[in-house]
Amino acid sequence: MHNTIRRLVIGPVMATMALTAPAWAEDSFQPPKMTAFVAAGAGGGTDNFVRTIQPMLEERLKTNMTVINLPAASGVLAHQRTANSEPDGTSLDFASTTFITSRAAGQNPVGLDQLTPVARMQSDVMMLVVNPEKYDNLEEFMANARENGQKVVIGGTHAASVDRMAFLGLNKQAELELSYIPYDNEGSASASLLSGNVDGMMNEISAIQGYMEAGRMKPILAFSAERLDAYPDIPTTAENGWDLTFGNERGVFINAQTDPATISAIEAAFKDIFDSEEYQTYAKRSNLDVRAGWLGSADYRQALEKDLAFFEELMADN
């Protein structure tokens, strides 16, 4: 009897709460503590990204965020700890495209069923970069690549990196047989390019600005659909008829079981950060504004699923 009454009273209350839930959550998802797992080592691009965002997010969600770097094994541990965390929205995983490439390479057991993307904040443009003393433009490079095949060597980072995916994609779409040498880090790959030991390098536009200005490196191919406003002289993959449009992306992931309302609250906070002048100044300074970065949760998931399928296909061929 009592139960019935209680149900009668609580029912409508619950219904009202459910209806107002999104707005309510957006205003008051304010956990006292949050944890940011970073799928990269201290000091790199992804780490800088997290540490720049940290105070902005703390201000908006009125919280304290602890940053934990878990660089081992391409950041797999960061994904795993986020996937195993309480699904209450307080554990975030800051990752780059490596999340998807290491998944495609079979190194990462955590997939998009366990982690849900919250937002994409950055989308860098992949470039094929050469030493201007060796090649002047894409035509020269391609002529040599067709003639010498395997002897033309491209440098980049580790075997499951987005650099290698770009390389595999180029080999496939342009029907080339170039060789790839993975270096421990971007710096070593750059050194090899500067010294002329490799013919080309896969790298993001943001990382090579200084060398470009000094005339020691030259990007000859942009992996994008349209020519970049800032660099109208660099030919694109699309105009060569190659369907390769990607680069390193950086975004935020969360345990897939988290309440959708909480996810949208966090997404809204990130959107607000992305639109802020403070964040845009940082993006501009780090040359991360060449291509629009923002993608919301649903769109980002779609983009990632498409990329994952493409990378898996590339890995299967090799």
Partner 1 sequence: MFQDLLGGLWVVLQPINLLILTSAVLIGFVGGALPGISGVILVVILLPVTYSMEPTGAFMLLTAIYASSVFSGLITAILYRAPGTPEAVMTAIDGYPMTQKGEAGKALGIGILSSAIGGMFGTLVLILATPFLADMALQFSSPEFFALAVLGLTVVASLGGNLLLGLIGVCIGLMIASVGIDPLTGTIRFTFGSLHLMGGVNLIPVIIGLFAISEVLKRCQEGDIHLTSKSFKIKIFDWPVIRQIRTTIVRSSILGTVIGILPGIGASTAAMVSYSETVRWSKDRSRFGKGAPEGIAAPEAANNAAAMGALVPLFALGIPGSGTTAVILGAFIVHGLTPGPTFMSGNNELIYAVFVGLMMVNVMILVFSKPFIAVLSKLLDVPYSVLGPIIVICCVVGTYSVQNSMMDVWLMLGFGVAGFLLEKIGFPLVAIILGVVLGPIAESELRRSLALSQGDLSIFVTRPISAVLLLIAFVLVTVTIVAPILRRKRARRDETA
Give contact residues for partner 1 (rule: CB under 8 A).
42-45, 47-48, 51-52, 54, 68-74, 76-77, 80, 105, 107, 109, 150-151, 153, 158-160, 179, 181-185, 187-188, 190-192, 194-195, 197-198, 209-211, 213-214, 216, 285-286
CA–CA separation, 77 vs 173, rounded Å? Answer: 33
Output the smallest distance, CB 103 to partner 1, in A.
Answer: 12
Residue whose structure tokens are 């990607």:
246
CB of 150 to partner 1, least distance (A): 6
Nearer to partner 1, 77 or 308 (CB): 77
Residue 54 or residue 245: which is nearer to partner 1 going by CB?
Answer: 54
Q: How far apart are the first and last CA of the chain?
A: 69
Count how many residues are written for the chain: 318
Rounded to an integer, what distance in angstroms lies between the CA atom of residue 203 and that of residue 190?
A: 9
- For the bound state, the minimum distance from the C-beta of residue 188 to partner 1, rounded and expressed in Å, comes to 5
Nearer of residues 72 and 298 to partner 1, judged by Cβ = 72
List Cα–Cα distances, 25 to 61, 65, 89, 139, 300, in angstroms. 11, 19, 11, 55, 22
Q: Nearer Cβ to partner 1, position 25 or 193?
A: 193
What tokens were used for 69? 């770097």
47 vs 289, which CB is nearer to partner 1? Answer: 47
User: Nearest distance from residue 159's CB to partner 1, in Å?
Assistant: 3
User: What is the nearest approach in angstroms of partner 1 to the Cβ of residue 286?
Assistant: 6
Question: Which is nearer to partner 1, 181 or 238 (by Cβ)?
Answer: 181
Nearer to partner 1, 103 or 295 (CB): 103
| Helices and strands counted in the chain (H then E) | 11, 11
Structural Rg of the chain based on CA atoms: 22
Check: CB of residue 224 under 8 Å from CB of residue 291: yes
Residues contacting 272, CB < 8 A, separation 6+:
60
Q: Output the smallest distance, CB 57 to partner 1, in A.
A: 13
Across 87-241, the runs of DSSP E, i.e. the strands, are: 91-96, 115-123, 126-130, 153-156, 179-182, 200-204, 218-222
Q: Minimal distance in Å, beta carbon 168 to partner 1?
A: 12
